[in-house]
Amino acid sequence: MAKASWDKEARQGLTLISPPFIYALLVLAAPILTILTYSFLTDGYLTVVRDFTWDNYIYAWTDPIVRMVMLRSLAVSALVTLVTVALAFPVAYYVSFMVRPERKSMWLFLITIPFWTSYLIRVFLWKVILGYNGVINSSLTGLGIIDEPLTFILYNVNSIVLTLAHAYAPFAILPIFIALEKIDRSLLEAGRDLGESKAMTFWRVTLPLAMPGVIAATMIVFIPTIGDYVTPELIGGGKIPMIANLIQVQMLALDDRPKGSALAVSAMLIVAVVCLIFLFLNRRFLKVRQ
């Protein structure tokens, strides 16, 4: 009896999840498997030869340019993540703790407004703001503060970090906001009641309890920024390529799909390992059940 009804439930469940499951298989698993396969094959001229080889991985892990670009990607992503999360926390804190409850959804709505335009357009807009004849330079020149347009504000790492931090801000604000919202406010009163100042209560109670949100925000920002391809191209002016640009060059410009695939798989592995180490270091915050 019980088994039969479970079977029925299981069938219903399978029916429900099968469309998204098939979809996920097609758009996620299949491409990844293709890339994985390519990465072990040999590049022929304008074609892929079906000969197994490790050469692509030897290239990906020994070539000095690849290593330099990979390290730069990690550094830029880490910097972007740091800046984004550090700026997102006060915003999330403000909305969660200072904004009146009935106004919170309006604030969240305002925070997501940048998403109304496409990512590409937002990146272009930053170019307009930071460019040689851009908003900042023409204003400063017009005001007579500078004689020559500033050149250090575009086509460098700073401008990439600025653009990416802006683009990913809502992704960081929302998980931190949710973690802060879950904190029972009487815990903060308990911290005060037990003799701690507001600052110490934040340090000993609020921050540890908000850590799951901070960790989520970190991952959500770090993982996509390391693979970002548009911003280094447009804002970096193509002079400071990141790993995604290198993959693009291999895949499309040089038409060396096996090397490009090996780079992509290696980048995925590195990101996965970095994330796992990060999660491991923060495991005590993730075990907390509220």
Partner 1 sequence: MSDNRYDRLEAAKPMIECREVHKYYGDYHALRGIDLTIRAGEFFSLLGPSGCGKTTLLRTIAGFEDIDSGVVLIDGKHMEDVPANKRPTNMVFQSYAIFPHLTVAENVAFGLRRDPRTKAEKAQLVEEALAMVGLKGYGARAAHALSGGQRQRVALARALILKPKVLLLDEPLSALDRKMREQMQVELIKLQRQVGITFVLVTHDQEEALVMSDRIAVMFEGQIAQLDGPEALYARPATRRVANFIGVMNFLPANVVSETDGVVTVEVPGLGMVELPEKQISRANPDDDGPTIGFRPETMTIVPANQTHTQPRETNATIDEVVYYGDMTYYDLRLEGAEGPNGQKARPVRISMRNVFGRDVPEVGTRVRVAWSPGSLVLFR
Contact region for partner 1 (CB under 8 A) — 33-41, 86-94, 172-180, 202-210?
A: 202-210
The answer to whether 209 contacts partner 1 (rule: CB under 8 A) is: yes
Residues 6+ apart with CB under 8 A from 200: 191
Quick one: which of 228, 210, 286, 249 has its CA closest to 73? 228
The answer to whether 265 contacts partner 1 (rule: CB under 8 A) is: no
Contact region for partner 1 (CB under 8 A) — 17-25, 106-114, 129-137, 205-213?
A: 205-213
Q: Which of residues 156-195 bind partner 1 (CB under 8 A)?
A: 184, 186-187, 189-195
Q: Which is nearer to partner 1, 51 or 184 (CB)?
A: 184
Q: Are 123 and 166 in contact (CB under 8 A)?
A: no
Q: Which is nearer to partner 1, 38 or 285 (CB)?
A: 285
Least separation, in Å, of the C-beta of 69 and partner 1? 40
Q: Which of residues 269-288 bind partner 1 (CB under 8 A)?
A: 284-285, 287-288
Q: What is the DSSP letter of 240?
A: S
Q: Which is nearer to partner 1, 154 or 183 (CB)?
A: 183
In the set 197, 269, 272, 277, which binds partner 1 (CB under 8 A)?
197
Least separation, in Å, of the C-beta of 176 and partner 1? 16
Q: Which is nearer to partner 1, 159 or 201 (CB)?
A: 201
Q: Which two tokens stand for residue 77?
A: 């992503």
Residue 182 Cα distances to 47, 206, 215, angstroms: 54, 10, 15
- Hunting for tokens 């908003």 — which residue is that? 135
Residue 64 Cα distances to 34, 69, 256, 281, angstroms: 27, 9, 18, 30
CA distance 282 to 290: 17
Least separation, in Å, of the C-beta of 283 and partner 1? 12
Element (H, E) at 24: helix 2-24
The answer to whether 5 contacts partner 1 (rule: CB under 8 A) is: no
Q: Which is nearer to partner 1, 24 or 200 (CB)?
A: 200
CA distance 269 to 260: 14
In the set 10, 105, 204, 281, which binds partner 1 (CB under 8 A)?
204
Q: Which two tokens stand for residue 60?
A: 């990906």
The answer to whether 202 contacts partner 1 (rule: CB under 8 A) is: no
Least separation, in Å, of the C-beta of 185 and partner 1? 9
Quick one: which of 163, 178, 284, 180 has its CA closest to 221? 163
Sequence-distant contacts of 278-285: CB under 8 A, at least 24 apart? 278/215, 278/218, 278/219, 279/215, 279/219, 282/211, 282/215, 285/208, 285/211, 285/212, 285/215
Q: Residue numbers of the site for partner 1 (CB under 8 A)?
A: 184, 186-187, 189-197, 200, 204-205, 208-209, 284-285, 287-290
